[in-house]
Amino acid sequence: MAETNTVIGAHHASFAHQFDDPEQQRQAGALGMWVFLATEVLFFGGLFTAYTIYRLANPEVFAVASNELDLTLGFINTLVLICSSFTMATAVYNAQHGNRKWLIFFLCATVVLGMVFLGIKAVEYAQKFEHHLVPGAHFTIEGTDPNKAQMFFSLYFAMTGLHALHMIIGAGMMIVLIAMAWRNRFSPEYHTPVELGGLYWHFVDIIWIFLFPLLYLLGRSTIGH
Amino acid sequence: MSEKIVSMQTYAIIFATLVVFTVITYRVSLIDLGVLNFVVALTIAAIKASLVALFFMHARWSPRVTQLVIASSLFWLFILLSLTLADYIARGPNWTHGLRYPANP
């Protein structure tokens, strides 16, 4: 066995000796990433729980406050993130086939789409400051209890802020992957970092898939603008 | 068992489905369905999240132990939500009175 490992190890510098074969190593890496993502589910889960409690207690206030969010920008951002998940999946596909050029291209496309998302998010945040919708001394809202509406916006900033932080970390990971791909570190036999970066990116997309309806789509039909 | 390579055609179909569901959830939110608005929005979100996890994240082809980790993460989320809600709702009709809010603006 040790002899076989030495032979494989000679071919793949990335193959660690404690594993039986590269496939076992790849699966162990993916399993580790999923365990981390399970902790992330509960990390965001605390915020989702707080949201659920306060929304159940104040359905009308949350509906009015939600209508202050920019539905068009939220909708566009949802599409941007879905596109970025698609380019990420395509990057993994090209890594599996050893197409270094297309791998780099689609990783770059993923970063660009991530930056578009964050740019739109920055525009939205700026609007909230202009409209006095940031919780604090200058918070004002028409047509509902400002005290309770502040809670909606506290949750809005906490949830989207934590999500945006994950996007920034994800973009950093993409840049590392681009640098590694540039140095020819990946092959059809070894591209686990691309796969794990993809898992993280898709997870952040899934969080947004829930944030969009929970934050933007309340009472749109009954209150509207 | 070696690594599953998903075809570009599958990725494209999943991508198109996700876009269609996003448009549907947006359009449906503008129609007044009462309590069903919330049900539809969350159902669509759950379907979209499942498609991303199963196909883009290859959960469908992952080893059993990985699928167990995914299922258990959802189970723990269920515990977090259900036990917290059970606590609040068990406080009776005035359960909202104990909730704290930010200071008056």
Answer whether residue A10 is part of any domain. Answer: no
What would the two tokens of residue A3 be? 């002899």
Residue pair A186/A108 in contact (Cβ under 8 Å)? The answer is no
Residue pair A62/A55 in contact (Cβ under 8 Å)? The answer is yes
Is B62 within 8 Å of chain A by CB? yes
Is A217 in Cβ contact with B88 (below 8 Å)? no
Answer whether residue A7 is part of any domain. Answer: no
CA distance A50 to A52: 5
Q: Is the pLDDT reported for residue B91 higher than 90?
A: yes
DSSP state, A216?
A: I
Answer whether residue A22 is part of any domain. Answer: no
Q: Which of A125, A102, A106, A126 is nearest to A114 (CA)?
A: A106
Its ipTM equals 0.95
- Helix ranges (H only) for A58-145 are 59-66, 71-96, 100-130
Backbone angles phi, psi at A218, to 5 degrees: -85, 135
Per-domain residue ranges of chain B: 1-62, 63-105
Q: What is the pLDDT of residue A190?
A: 93
Across the interface, of A136, A140, A221, the residue whose CB is closest to B31 is: A221
Q: How many domains does chain A have?
A: 1
Answer whether residue A207 is part of any domain. Answer: yes
Q: What is the pLDDT of residue A222?
A: 86
Label residue B86 by pLDDT band (50, 70, 90).
very high
Q: What is the CATH number of the domain that holds A40?
A: 1.20.120.80
* pLDDT digits 0-9 by tens, A39-92: 999 999 999 999 999 999 999 999 999 999 999 999 999 999 999 999 999 999
Q: What is the pLDDT of residue A3?
A: 46
Answer whether residue A25 is part of any domain. Answer: no
Is A202 in Cβ contact with B53 (below 8 Å)? yes
Percent of chain A having pLDDT more than 70?
94
Q: How far is CA A25 from the centre of its chain?
A: 26
Answer whether residue A170 is part of any domain. Answer: yes
Q: Is the pLDDT reported for residue A7 higher than 80?
A: no
CA distances from residue A78 to A74, A164, A204 in whole angstroms, order as listed:
6, 13, 12
- What's the pTM value of the predicted model, to 2 decimals? 0.93
CA distances from residue A140 to A147, A152, A185 in whole angstroms, order as listed:
9, 13, 54
Containing structural domain, residue A116 = 33-222
More confident residue, A224 or A221: A221
Q: Is the pLDDT reported for residue A153 higher than 60?
A: yes
CA distance B37 to B23: 14
Interface test with A, best of B3, B39, B78, B89 (most A CBs within 10 A): B3
Residue of A nearest to B58 (CA): A199
Q: What is the pLDDT of residue A224?
A: 60
- Among B residues 11-50, those touching chain A with beta carbons less than 8 Å apart: 11-12, 14-15, 18-19, 22, 25-26, 29-33, 37, 41-42, 44-45, 48-49
Answer whether residue A12 is part of any domain. Answer: no
